[in-house]
Amino acid sequence: MNNASKDQEIIAAAIAINAPFVGRLRSRTLVSSRWFALIGQFITVLVVHFGFNFELPLLACLLTIAANITLNIIITVGLPPQRLVRQWEAAAQLTFDVLQLALLLYLTGGIANPFCLLLIAPATIAASTLQPRWTLSIVGVTILSVGVLALYSYPLPWNPPGGFMLPALYQFAMAFAIIIGLLFTASYAWRVSLEESQLADALIATQEVLAREQRLAALGGLAAAAAHELGTPLATIQVTAKEMLRSLPPKSLDLEDAELILSQAQRCREILRNLTNQKEISESVTETLPFGQLLEEVAERHPDLGHKAVLFDIQGPEGKGELMVIRKPAILYGLGNMLENAIQYANQAVTVSAKWDERSVRVTISDDGPGFDEVVLDRLGEPYVTTSLQGPINTNSREGMGLGFFIAKTLLERSGAQVSFWNNTGASRGAVVQTVWPFSAIAAKS
């Protein structure tokens, strides 16, 4: 299994862990919000009835408020406050809030009551925290409640009683405005919540990939240290076995055992020699290395090039010697991901150009393929944005680069770089990815 397949599995597992099997609302959040609303309802009813001396069905209003208070007490006593409520539980509570508020508005003027705008609140909460099916059910109940309030309700509390009546056309216009506001607010909250959720999933995947790179580097260091430490005792065993072979008579029973010890010691030394000579392990414990060697390591992570070539063009200021840089897993993975995509969609060659001066270090990866799709070029690098050319999927199509590009871009930016994408113009077509670091962000301290 190659590195790309492993990264795909890591990403899928990370997103699956963050999948919304349960709600995103804690029990105490809904309870505290409901207490705040109930206190406001209670104070408003008392002020309207006793402060302004408006006639309203006080007992029915208080019983409606008491029903919601009872629900809140039951939830407070029966459920732990830190518990994440399930999707259907949150939907049921928010639906009850809509119906309770609608009944209170029915008793106090219906659609003519200025507080009818509060019907938008439960649906907005649902849109930002629940799955679409539950949100649509709450929106449907709210729209139905607004329609009923536009047709039937007690008169608005006023002096004299019944002295304030809105025209029927205006009431229907109010209902229509509330419904439009409800749909707009809920859709806006849903869109913002969806983007936030996708960004959270992608960041989790980014952290998992970076953690994997760091674990691999640590494993390489452990392997190199083990090879170094085990070399001396194995050499001692080998020397001792040779001395035993010299001293034992030809037909001794211990001769076969001594030969076995010697062969196994030689085998262990060969394994350790191969382990030490592996470039990936020996370099993984290097904190600083030449800039050109860093780019070569990035290219060596993708040995399956087919008939395509990777060309390097590394330039620095004259008389400055070789640039020593800090070896960071984030840089290796980020540049490796960009290079992998360039190799995948190139026709014949990929060019890696590197330039630096006293202020910045610049790496430009360009290919001779079809380039990025212009439709999504401005959004490339955002999570779950894929680029795909029109027509059948073939070697000239770019797809599946949404999350991968986002991870690579995020890791490079965390290392201090700025990443930009564009297409070459004119005869030399192809995609270009440029990464620019401030000199101090990547250069090793001398």
Residue 238 has pLDDT above 60, yes or no: yes
- Residue 392 confidence (pLDDT): 38
Query: Nearest to residue 371, comparing CAs of 332, 424, 426?
Result: 424
> Average per-residue pLDDT in the chain?
80
102-129 per-position pLDDT tens digit: 999 999 999 999 999 999 999 999 998 8
pLDDT interval class at 222 (50, 70, 90): low
Q: Please return the burial class of 5, using the count of CB atoms within 10 Å of its CB with bins 0-12, 13-18 and 19+.
A: exposed
Residue 134 has pLDDT above 90, yes or no: yes
Query: Nearest to residue 135, comparing CAs of 143, 144, 127?
Result: 127
- Residue 330 confidence (pLDDT): 82
148-170 per-position pLDDT tens digit: 999 999 999 988 877 788 888 99
From CA 384, how far away is CA 400, in angstroms rounded?
A: 9
Instruction: Find the radius of gyration of the CA atoms of the chain.
Output: 35
- Residue 397 confidence (pLDDT): 40
Query: Nearest to residue 388, comparing CAs of 376, 401, 398, 402?
Result: 398
CB 297 within 8 A of CB 291: no
pLDDT interval class at 14 (50, 70, 90): very low
Instruction: For the chain, give every domain's residue range.
Output: 3-207, 288-442
Please compute the mean of the pLDDT values over residues 314-323 and round it to a whole number. Answer: 82
From CA 211, how far away is CA 407, in angstroms rounded?
A: 13
Structural tokens at position 368: 């001779």
132 vs 217, which has greater pLDDT?
Answer: 132
244-269 per-position pLDDT tens digit: 878 877 767 777 788 888 888 888 87
From CA 163, how far away is CA 150, in angstroms rounded?
A: 18
Beta bridge partners of 372: none
Residue 213 has pLDDT above 80, yes or no: no
Q: Show the DSSP H helices in 278-375 as ranges.
A: 279-284, 291-300, 329-345
Q: What would be the CATH architecture of the domain defined by 288-442?
A: 2-Layer Sandwich (3.30)
From CA 172, how far away is CA 111, in angstroms rounded?
A: 8
